[in-house]
Structure 1
Amino acid sequence: MKTRVTEIFGIEYPIVQGGLAYLAYAELAAAVSNAGGLGQITAATLRTPESLREEIRKLRTLTDKPFGVNFAIARHDGNYQELLEVAIEEKVPAISITGGNPKPVFDRIKGETIRTLVLVSGVRQAQKAEELGADAIMAVGQEGGGHLGRDDIGTMVLIPRVVDSVSIPVLASGGIGDGRGLLAALALGAEGIEMGTRFIATQECIHANEAYKQAIIQSKETDTIIIKKSLGSPGRVLKTGYALDIIEREQKGATYEDLKEMISGMANCRYIYDGNESEGFGWAGQVIGLINSIPTVQELFDEMINQAEKGISRMGRIFEE
């Protein structure tokens, strides 16, 4: 496959693995990169410069292909600069920026050779990212897992809107987990895709508890719910008693201070690491309705590309008729 995304990032397929807080380590990132996509490790999880440097070097022992480091800058409590310095010193091929104002990052890496991706949920954010010098945009619709935009715009409408508003390439995110989603994204004008939830249910996502993976493959598209909407930072999670309790408290007027322990990263880890559904939550998108297996990343890529090729043939027959 050849799009501006594959050319800019030096990858075979325009498929980018999401940042996946607490889950995006070297093993998963290397598997994605080795399969032809752009794997990523997440700086927010690693927290210290030494840990990030170690993980980058570990990743390089597992792949010689391009990879990225994700900076969810709102999660770093303002201390992501030290981690960014490590990424620069280690000459990582790419970084992605999510969850905050990316301008300080662009100011710091000006003149470096690092390629950049910025996650957005609307047209104005996309245009701002382009002005700052982003190489590509990742636009996430409200179907996605994890943190989303506040306007509840679905991927089907968001992608062509963003594509029409910028000149740099756009990757579609939210509700995509197979070759049909890849093909649909390309049809909407995107030049690639970003996937998060689908990569959790893979064999190389070794840090995800088996209970979390099983919940993803056994759930339907109706089995997710959005928490933290009243706090201005909506995020889609698996629908559990714990998540419903958060929403009930929000509806009763709970503040961030009231909820901060329930919605913390540690609460997230209690479920995704330990499988403790009663004391934590797990991010997941509506695409869980399309996930029913836990393949290797390579098997997933093979299946997706085969499915996309079949879709192209099907459309060709339709237009010929």
Structure 2
Amino acid sequence: MEWKTRVTELLGIQYPIIQGGLAYLAYADLCAAVSEAGGLGQITAMSLSSPDALRTEIKKVKEMTDKPFGVNFAIGQHGRPYSHLVDVALEEGVKVMSVTGGNPTPFFDQLKGKGVKTLVLVAAKRQAQKAEELGADAVMVVGQEGGGHLGRDDVGTMVLVPRVVDSVSIPVIASGGIGDGRGWMAAHALGAEGIEMGTRFIATKECIHASDAYKDALMTSSETGTTVIKRTLGAPARALKGPWTEQILALEAKGAKYEQLKSYISGETNRKFVHDGDVESGYGWAGQVVGLIKDNPTVEELIGRMVNEAEQIRNGWNFNE
């Protein structure tokens, strides 16, 4: 059964499944596995320490697969320059780049005329329209169910995706709360032409940088096992519930400002949990889809399972046959 959409044609992939940027986790092994299995894997550029480190990851991916892959630039959460990293991706011939957070105008200015396919993660209709005006080839629309940084409007994927579909002419990719073939097909029913998954790909064998404690938490949490932190800072983000997020929320409830919260929400405390498994002194991003995650398969097994589920649903939708 073919899965031809504008997204598969745009990116040159078999299935319209895109792996999210995943700070501190989306490196060569995971990226190559997703691309090799028919989706679009991505490297997270802004989590890397230097341009040379990004170049190394890109070269690793090329050694592991000849399929298309992308590089993600999470420009809104790091507050540091990134144009030199974009230069590296261009020098290495990366044909797909995505941007999340922040003002993407300089990103598009730098890529103008370079022949790169561009994806923008958005969390509101107005952001999607702006991305289209800037020249984005597609938008990835994340509902409030998603993990990591979200929009401020608390609009769910079920409503947000069709709102954006009706507002732009470029392909829409649905994100937030999707972790199996059912979510994939639901996204198509809403008008999306592909899906992006982040949290679900963490609990896979090729996500080698994720600690066992992190993966175990993803597999044992229910759909109510996440919470939204940083709301008082105007940057809401969904993470697993735990001792550390409880401390963050308590400080926010007391009116703590950024300087007081900085050490609690830093990348270092994020890595303590996601890399080292330190549940007491760190936190991990996760979406509500944790309620659907029960195992840690290979990426190939996961995508294969999703394809089978989706094909069964598609066959069941042939109402007139």
* TM-score normalized by the length of structure 2: 0.98
Q: Is the 8 A contact 1:217 1:293 kept in 2?
A: yes
Aligned twin of 1:2: 4
Alignment correspondent of 1:179: 181
Give 1:7-26 correspondences, 5 Å limit: 7-26=9-28
Matches within 5 A, 1:163-174: 163-174=165-176
> Within 1, Cα distance between the matches of 2:196 and 2:162?
16
Alignment match, 1:151? 153
Q: Secondary structure at the match of 1:165?
A: coil
Q: CA deviation at 1:108?
A: 0.8
Cα offsets for 1:161-180 (capped at 9, x unmatched): 00000000000000000000
- Could you say which residue in structure 2 is the equivalent of 1:268? 270
TM-aligned CA deviation for residue 151 of structure 1: 0.2
Which residue of structure 2 aligns with residue 95 of structure 1?
97
> What is residue 211 of structure 2 aligned with on the other side?
209
Name the CA distance, whole Å, in 1 between partners of 2:107 and 2:221. 38
Deviates more, 1:298-307 or 1:44-53: 44-53
How far apart, CA to CA, are the structure 1 residues paired with 2:241 and 2:208?
23
Out of 129, 143, 146, the residue aligned to residue 127 of structure 1 is 129
Instruction: Tell me the TM-score normalised to structure 1 length.
Output: 0.98
Amino acid at match of 1:140: V
Deviation (angstroms), 1:58? 1.0
- Aligned position for 2:287: 285
Q: CA deviation at 1:91?
A: 1.3
Give the secondary structure class of the aligned counterpart of 2:208.
coil
Moved over 4 A (4+): none
Quote how far apart the aligned CAs of 1:79 are: 1.2
Separation in structure 1 between the aligned mates of residue 80 and residue 295 of structure 2, nearest angstrom? 38
Measure how far apart 1:320 and its partner are. Answer: 4.5
Distance 1:253 1:153 in 2: 25
Q: CA RMSD in A?
A: 0.9
Write the distance in 2 (CA, Å) between the matches of 1:77 and 1:213: 28
Amino acid at match of 2:259: E
In 2, the alpha carbon distance for the partners of 1:291 and 1:55 equals 28
User: Match of 2:80, SS?
Assistant: coil
- Unpaired segments of 5 or more residues in structure 2? none
1:32 & 1:19 partners in 2: Cα distance?
Answer: 12
For residue 72 of structure 2, give the secondary structure of its aligned residue in structure 1. Answer: strand
CA deviation string 1:114-148 (max 9, x = no partner): 11100000010000000111010000000000000
* AA in 2 matched with 1:176: I
How far the C-alpha of 1:194 sits from its partner, in A, is 0.2
Alpha-carbon separation, structure 2, partners of 1:294 and 1:78: 34
User: What is the 5 A alignment of 1:1-321?
Assistant: 1-316=3-318, 319-320=319-320
Amino acid at match of 1:199: F
The code of the aligned residue for 2:20 comes to G
CA distance in 2, matches of 1:133, 1:254: 39
- Measured in 2, the distance between the counterparts of 1:46 and 1:35 equals 25
Question: What's the CA shift for 1:280?
Answer: 0.4
SS of residue in 2 equivalent to 1:118: strand
1:69-119 Cα shifts (integer Å, max 9, x gaps)? 000012342310111111111110100000111110100111101111000
**What number of residue pairs does the alignment pair up?**
319
What is the Cα deviation at residue 313 of structure 1? 2.4
SS at match of 2:140: strand
Q: Indicate if the aligned counterparts of 1:44 and 1:75 stay in contact, CA closer than 8 A.
A: no
Q: What is the CA–CA distance in structure 1 between the aligned matches of 2:162 and 2:79, rounded to whole Å? A: 33
Query: Retained in 2: the 8 A contact 1:159–1:190?
Result: yes
Which region of structure 1 is more displaced relative to structure 2, 12-21 or 70-79? 70-79
